[in-house]
Structure 1
């Protein structure tokens, strides 16, 4: 069972890496594949999967609130340390702290959990996508804009622009529409359901392929205490806190306990590097992202070996 799960994951990562490394595809073309996954395939997958369920099958408040608490605890700790100890300014701190408390839930989490638990993966990942897209990312964007010397808009304008950005996010739209259909018991016509299902089936393999191709060209140029702190927080502390929080503060199933912990152990999200580029933090985000990608897959592989052996 372990090899059946881990084998395809690393094979697809390696295939994506070698496709770019051997010039079969350019990094830009692989980036387009990643964009297709995040903007079309994953939203279709979340929408189709969630819309076919009842609300009690997708809403687990204990799971949601524990993961939210862990996320913001680690973000808050990172914000304090990065600003006071590592002397980053407000915008830099807001962006860099994201690496300490957010995983690549959409791309990698969906791909890995789909192999482990099938359709239940959508429930576990969708709740965390809500935490990240509705609560965490807007917080990061507002704080980063407030700290930017080039952006002097008032707080109302910043919040308005952040909300508009959120509403334009296809992944967020897919999750919220799916939950809405579940709440009001609206069932999709089978033709539309079949089309969305076919699109969704491409999400997991293409996501891993795109992640592998995206690693090409990344380097460890900014290995220091700050990078190590972010990676340890993201890939070791976060899964530990999530595991103990879910185990002792909730009555979730064993499968949900394991799924939440694995999501927390995954590599940092690609949006971490994207925001780093916007705020002039290229190497300060790319280096911990690469370190996290390596360590995250190691930790995830160990957890899968322990729990799905």
Structure 2
């Protein structure tokens, strides 16, 4: 079981990396593949999977609240340390703290958990996508923009953030899927088949694009700050999620394992994108690369431990 799950993951990562490294594809080609996954394949997968279930099959309040508390706690702690100890301004601190408290749930989490659990994975990843989309990313954007745009008011920034969220296909795929489950709306068979076919491409293409995306990244900014962000994201976060789900909820073993593995995964690509947008290119890309390597090591170790 372990070999059957881990080997496809690393082979797809290696294939994506090799395709760019040896110039079969450019980084722009791979970025287009990643955009297809995020904007089309994953939304289709979440929508099709969630809409076919009843609400009690996809809503786990204990899991949701434990993961939310851990996420926000680590973000607040990181914001304090990054701003006061590492001496970054508010805008920089808002973005850098994201790396300490968020994993690549959409691309990597969906791919890895689907190999482990099949369609059940969509339930666990969708709840985390909601946490990240509704709580974490809006907080990051609002804090960053309030600092950068001194004349902007909270209302205008919040409105712009909400509009950005509503234009996010991944988030909307999750929300519409859950809405269909709540209202017991079943997707027509022909549309369901199309969504299923699109969804089947999400996992392999996600891993392929991640592998291709790390070509050219270098460790130019290895320091205490980068190490802290990686340790918080890939060690402290999964540990707290594991302890919280184990001792504060009646979560099943599968749910505990799923939440812990999601939390252990590499930082999200949006961390690198926001880092570049806010003038933190090396400060964000270096921990992102470190986390990509270390996060896969941690998650592979957990899979070996729990599925052997």
For residues 166-177 of structure 1, the aligned pairs below 5 Å read 166-177=165-176
Q: Which runs of 5+ in 1 are unaligned?
A: none
Q: CA deviation at 1:73?
A: 0.5
Distance 2:138 2:116 in 1: 31
Q: Which residue of 2 aligns with 1:5?
A: 5
SS in 1 for 2:216: coil
The question of 1:114 aligning with 2:114 is answered yes
Q: Which residue of 1 aligns with 2:188?
A: 189
Q: CA deviation at 1:228?
A: 0.2
**Which runs of structure 1 show a deviation greater than 4 angstroms over 4 or more consecutive aligned residues?**
none
Distance 1:85 1:306 in 2: 36
Q: CA deviation at 1:153?
A: 1.3
SS in 1 for 2:24: coil
For residues 138-177 of structure 1, the aligned pairs below 5 Å read 138-148=138-148, 150=149, 152-177=151-176
The Cα offsets for residues 194-240 of structure 1, whole Å up to 9 and x where unpaired, read as 00000000000000000000000000000000000000000000000
Distance 1:305 1:256 in 2: 17
SS in 2 for 1:17: helix
Distance 2:237 2:153 in 1: 34
The normalised TM-score by structure 1 is 0.99
Distance 1:281 1:268 in 2: 15
Distance 1:228 1:34 in 2: 27
Q: Which residue of 2 aligns with 1:249?
A: 248
The question of 1:231 aligning with 2:208 is answered no
For residues 1-309 of structure 1, the aligned pairs below 5 Å read 1-148=1-148, 150=149, 152-309=151-308
The Cα offsets for residues 61-102 of structure 1, whole Å up to 9 and x where unpaired, read as 000000000000100000000011000000000000000000
The Cα offsets for residues 99-124 of structure 1, whole Å up to 9 and x where unpaired, read as 00000000000000000000110000
SS in 2 for 1:217: coil
Distance 1:262 1:155 in 2: 35
